[in-house]
Amino acid sequence: MDVEESMDVEESLELSADPLSFARSYQLEALENAMKRNTIVFLETGSGKTLIAIMLLRSYAHLLRKPSRLIAVFLVPQVVLVNQQAAALEMHTDLKVGTYWGDKGVDFWDRDIWEKEIEKYEVLVMTPQILLDNLRHSFFKLSMIKVLIMDECHHARGRYPYASIMREFYHCQLKSGNICLPRILGMTASPIKTKGGNDELSYWKNIDELETILNSKVYTVASASVLAEYVPFSTPKFRLFRHTDIQFPMHSCLTERVEILHDKHVRELKLLDLEDSTAESVRKNLSKVKLALEYCLSELGVWLAAKAALSFYSNETDLFSWGNVDAMGETVKNFCLDTFQEFSPYLPTDPNWSIGVDLEGNINKGLLTAKVVSLIELLLEYRDLKDLRCIVFVQRIITAVVLQSLLSDLLPRNNSWKTKYIAGNSNHLQNQSRKKQNEIIEEFRKGEVNIIVATSILEEGLDVQSCNVVIRFDPSSTVCSFIQSRGRARKHNSEYILMVKSGDSKTHSRLQKYLASGDIMRKESLSHASHACVPLESDMQGDFYRVESTGAIVTLSSSVSLVYFYCSRLPSDGLVLSTHFKHSLLLLFVNCLIKAQCLVFISYRYFKPTPRWDFNTGTLYLPKSCPIQSICVEGNPKILKQIACLEACKRFHKMGALTDNLVPDIVLEEDYIQDPESQPYEDEQPGYVPAEMVGSFRPNEIYHCYLIELKPDFQYEIPVHDVVIGMKCELETDVENMQLDLQVGRGSLAVSLKYFGVIQLNPEQVRWCRRFQVTLFKILIDHKLKDMSEVFDQPHLPENVGVEYLLLPATTMDRRPLIIDWDSVTSILFPCGKFRQGHNSCKSPNYLNSKNGPVCSCMIKNSLVYTPHNGHVYCIMAILDDMNGNSVLKLRNGADITYKKYFEVNHGTNLQYANQPLLKGRKIFQVKNYLLSRQPKEKEQSNAYVELPPEMCSIIMSPISTSTLYSFSFVPSIMHRLESLLIAANLKRMYSDHGTQNVSIPTMKVLEALTTKKCQEKFHFESLETLGDSFLKYAACQHLFKSFQSNHEGFLSVKKDRIVSNVALCRLGCEHQIPGFIRDECFDPKTWIVPGDISTNSKLQEETLCNTTKIYVSKTRNLKSKRVADVVEALIGAFLSTGGEIEAIKFMNWIGIKVEFAFVPYERHFQVHAEKHVNIRRLESMLNYSFRNPSLLVEALTHGSYMLPEIPTCYQRLEFLGDAVLDYLVTTHLYKEHPGMSPGLLTDMRSASVNNDCYALSAIKVGLHKHILHLSRQLHKDIAAAVQNFERLPLEATFGWDSECPLPKVLGDVIESLAGAILVDSGYNKETVFRSIRPLLEPLVTPQTVKLHPAHELNKFVQKRHFGTNKPVRSSKNGLASYTIEVEANGVTFKHTSTAKDKKTAKKVACKNVLKSLKEAFNSN
């Protein structure tokens, strides 16, 4: 028993058929065959082959259901079929179905992502290249696939993925004795894809080849009559048309003119001074357009040839993707326009003329060919058909485009038919999106579109059962094409019409054979059904490379695409790939390069990192950034390039440039960054309260007392006095020495904290203190007396944990060392009936009647009262002996009224003691956020003071001075700052407890790093973040530069992003609980937790920090992940600014950023005679530095386009390092040189100093551009233009914002690469680098000379004045970027559109012009 038979026996033992009740007899028979052995189901289109596949999957379902690791894979040749087949599977099975195609980015998925898909889904529907790639990369194993279904399996020929899957994997494992292979089910309407043959033997030979490659036997029905009962067959008809050549003189003349125009535009290419590759791409596209126009002229007529020329010119159909390249776009469009003008004299000029009026006359004039007219007449024969659904098949895309245009213009005159076209992207000529194609198909299904003119893209898979007419405008080229297009007509009594030229017996005979081919193929398949499959002779012996650890494989045929794919991921110059481009077009682009078809033209401005094959020497030359420069091989000339590419793949893998899954190393790194599921983050983050402020009131508690000393720099009638804080624990030194200035509207209030000593309080004293502070703060904050019963009536101290510390009035200096003013504290006892205590000292008591009853006047003065008639609280400052209830009150309207009458009229109260003197009351002071960086000037309210009858007042606290109340209004802001400092101290302690000794960083500096701009305080983290960002970038770059000396700059950049990206920093911050420490909200006193207030303290939740210290969560707040990353950078900056690089490195290592600063020699395995390539003496003089290794100077000046073998590298790695070190050096210099600058200013100064435009101008200024080694014609032109523009700039234009001409990035790059070269050559001496490069950058920016980028300055200008802005309008055409900025200011629109070679320059110039207009309009500097 052979391997295949043993597999079949095993399968039959464990499977049982699961047919559907409505399955037809032949479908059940096919299912039975498929369960026994690998099967190719050969049945007509519409016969239900998909249902057979569904029933097979249902039979295997018990082996596929999760948690099984086995899957089924359903392959379809076109993307449009993925969702169609997946929908059928989901309808008829309960299996979980996943769908995959290139635009989903699957080409860039790694093993982990595919593992998740396999864990989630049981059937994977995909295009075959995806499975082939996954098998080659060993992300999939063939043994895990239980069922493999191949739709339209006739494609399994040559290098098509179906054949490669079988040849590279299935047959190899079958031959090795592996029995864990998938059940194969192929489905086709024609097992033959070729033109067939002249006899049955040639048909069988083709079928036998398909059976062999798929290791399957064909199942089919005995005759078409078996299917006829279920499947409607269209009636084939021949439509003969009389071919009439276009008048010879006209045709000959026009053809000759098109040729002359083509040659003219090709010659003009030489005048454009293009790169060779660009010029070749333009020539190819010109030739393709010329051939297309000549075809239209001969086969369709002058009218449609002119339509084609206009279509190409207007680029309406996106037939060629040349729009992004100026030279290519303009040249081809000009050729099309010239051609149209040549056609124009032969077109009717009468405005009333119509193409459809005289069809015969149009033929005679050559406007239309007889073939086109025959199609029109044929369609008009169906004008009475109620619901026409017709597909017209053509061979060429341009034919589909112009025929659709003609039919859309002509047919609606006779009926309401709507015509559209669908064309595939074969050879990448057409850019009709798949979404657009699907929309048209859906409109066709619904009857909203009646006619589709289509290329072969619609031959396969489109399921439109209502299609009733199929017309072959161009004859089918193969048996398969014939059968499939015929099968599109699915409706009963549908027609299949073959248009053939009269007298074309060869085509007529071929189509007759195609009509009979179905019966021949069925007969041959059935006659050989009993024969076993012949084993496929493997042609892979020695022609592949396999990674033993994973099983990943690269073959001769796949090695070329892998090498090109690897090179496409190398750093390039002038092209930035968006994520969308990477995921949807990159492999298409790679295939274009492989085939040398640059029709989808991608603009690498100066060079593209592609391999170059020299057939004569058998050498594969690789880009400079490759770890290998060239590979020379010998062998069969036909496959010599493949041999070289396979050898390159082997070497790439052995040196780590390809992973063990044979994926470029950079792709693996990018996957880590781009996978969103690997970096989860919740915006809801805790807000911490320090444990020092949390506890419970206990009897006989010991308190550490701190004195808050208040010293105003302003004069005010109400003085301030000190406040006492009672803490349960002693504070750290730099916290207990806290000093700050509060911004009071009248001036500044200096606050300092001093340790006083320890006191012990008994339970009653603690109760008094708690009641005092809760009452006082609730009144100060709310300005109303709410229900205070829980404070007044509580007999015991609460034992629950909450924010608990004491805030008490301090005694005056003459009463110390007694520090607590107990008279004020016990003022809270007045409502408890103890107000008579302490009256013995009153020599002449004078009682006034209040809401509390008779009260001595000395107790009313300096009291806090509540007035129920208006719900307000006042502090009583004096007794007005000269005023009573009968005194006159002057109202705002000028009227006079007595106080007694006033209270009677306005409050319905009749004063009983009108003769009592009135009280002078003052409204309670407002509690504000006095930490704000700006505080509006405070004016005394006109109604701040009022006169109150004593009988209208209920005394809350007495005696308590107005000074105490005023002083306590500042306390919430002071305590918020103290709480913030304690939070920062906790973070510092958590860091130091993990083995980091001698942490000298001030707690205030840590707090600065934790404070965001939203807090609106005098300080925030922006300067420290800028400093930390620059150091982090430098530390990471120098570490990677030393650690990965053989890897290219692109790999290093991705590695760096893994370290410094916001995602990475946020993750590390969260792992160390950083979010809870961040202060990201402006302080609001109304939300301040009053110590001892049980109504708010119940929300605290205990949490443990990573050093086992307790901390408490008071709330959660929305905190963006970028904010966490920013704070991590700011903390690095804080440690750097106070402790130097060593402390910064220690902190980075603690948080998880592992970098080393140890010296590592720069290994370079080649020798360069530097003096042969650059002027060493001149350059060293310019840089004021002598190189120990001059070859570093050569490397720093070598551009990637300089493809000379003696210099096997370019400046990109040194640029990577130099960019980081220059950024760090300049940022550090600015930070140290200008201490005390506002937090945002450092960011603006850094932005103005550290940018490519600034560096580029510096390079031109010193003549460095003359020393760059390159071989790019375009770069030479751009540098020349930049130099000319530089000469026109004003002398003060230093930072690049003034230049309205794009500055080549290369100019800035060499400044950075030279910095990198000096850093390496000097043994990583940063001071040497700055000493050398600084003169090139002079004058450096200062706070006085800094200029903002126009976009940033415009944004600030608009925000400050609250102007409106419209969304910028961006566009790109002919290689130029346009940018429109629009601002709405006081009803006037300020708008400017700028066009430049790049978007960055266009945006800068547009913003600059709008800003200039705004400043002129509003007289602003």
Asked whether 261 and 339 are in contact (CB, 8 A), the reply is yes
Residues 6+ apart with CB under 8 A from 836: none
What confidence tens digit (pLDDT) does each residue in 1123-1146 have?
Answer: 999 999 999 999 999 999 999 999
Token pair in block for residue 426: 């074969």
d(CA 984, CA 1079): 10
Burial class (CB in 10 A: 0-12, 13-18, 19+), 1134: buried
Q: Which of 311-320, 509-518, 942-951, 1387-1396 is the least confident region?
A: 311-320
Q: What is the average per-residue pLDDT within 506-524?
A: 88
Give the pLDDT of residue 686.
93
Element of type H or E holding 689: strand 684-689
Work out the number of other CB atoms within 10 angstroms of the CB of residue 777. Answer: 23
Please give the distance of CA 232 from its chain centroid, rounded to a whole number. 50
Give the pLDDT of residue 1176.
93
Report which DSSP code applies to 960.
-
Q: Which of 96-110, 440-454, 785-799, 1062-1076 is the least confident region?
A: 785-799
pLDDT at 25 over 80: yes
Query: Above pLDDT 70, what percent of the chain?
Result: 89
Residues 6+ apart with CB under 8 A from 956: 775, 779, 785, 830, 831, 863, 864, 865, 866, 873
Q: Which of 277-286, 319-328, 1102-1111, 1366-1375 is the least confident region?
A: 319-328
pLDDT at 111 over 80: yes
pLDDT at 602 over 70: no
Please give the distance of CA 54 from its chain centroid, rounded to a whole number. 39
Q: Which of 892-896, 1068-1072, 1180-1184 is the least confident region?
A: 892-896
Q: What is the average per-residue pLDDT within 929-944?
A: 75
What mean pLDDT is reported for the chain? 86
- Binned at pLDDT 50, 70 and 90, residue 1185 comes out as very high
pLDDT at 814 over 50: yes
Q: What is the average per-residue pLDDT within 947-964?
A: 92
Token pair in block for residue 862: 């300096």
Q: What is the average per-residue pLDDT within 1057-1080?
A: 93
What confidence tens digit (pLDDT) does each residue in 296-343 have?
Answer: 999 999 999 999 999 888 764 444 444 334 455 678 888 999 999 998
Give the pLDDT of residue 530.
87
Token pair in block for residue 1365: 């802005």
d(CA 839, CA 858): 9
DSSP letter for each residue of 1324-1392: S-HHHHHHHHHHHHPSPP-TTT----HHHHHHHHHHHHT-EEPPPEEEEETTEEEEEEEEEETTEEEEE
What confidence tens digit (pLDDT) does each residue in 231-281 have?
Answer: 778 888 999 988 776 666 788 888 899 999 999 988 888 777 777 777 888
Report which DSSP code applies to 664.
B
Give the pLDDT of residue 1135.
95
Give the pLDDT of residue 3.
44
* Four-point Cα dihedral 1092, 1095, 1098, 1099, nearest 10: -110
Work out the number of other CB atoms within 10 angstroms of the CB of residue 941. Answer: 10
> CA angle, 1146 as apex, 1142 and 1152 as ends, to 5°?
145
> How far from 348 is each of 250, 357, 369, 1222, CA to CA, in Å?
15, 13, 16, 68
Kindly report whether the peptide bond that precedes residue 1290 is cis, defined as omega within 30 degrees of 0.
no
Q: Which one of 743-747, 1166-1170, 1288-1292 scores highest in mean pLDDT?
A: 743-747
Burial class (CB in 10 A: 0-12, 13-18, 19+), 1246: buried
Give the pLDDT of residue 1150.
93
Give the pLDDT of residue 361.
84
Q: What is the average per-residue pLDDT within 518-523?
A: 88
d(CA 718, CA 245): 109
pLDDT at 529 over 60: yes
Q: Which is more confident, 942 or 1397?
A: 1397
pLDDT at 143 over 70: yes
Give the pLDDT of residue 1373.
73
Residues 6+ apart with CB under 8 A from 825: 768, 769, 772, 808, 809
Residue 612 bridge partners (DSSP): 621
Q: What is the average per-residue pLDDT within 885-889?
A: 93
Query: Above pLDDT 90, what percent of the chain?
Result: 48
Q: What is the average per-residue pLDDT within 527-533?
A: 87
Q: What is the average per-residue pLDDT within 160-175?
A: 92
* Four-point Cα dihedral 1160, 1164, 1169, 1172, nearest 10: -90
Residues 6+ apart with CB under 8 A from 307: 296, 402, 405, 406
Q: What is the average per-residue pLDDT within 464-489?
A: 86
Q: Which of 370-374, 901-905, 1284-1288 is the least confident region?
A: 1284-1288
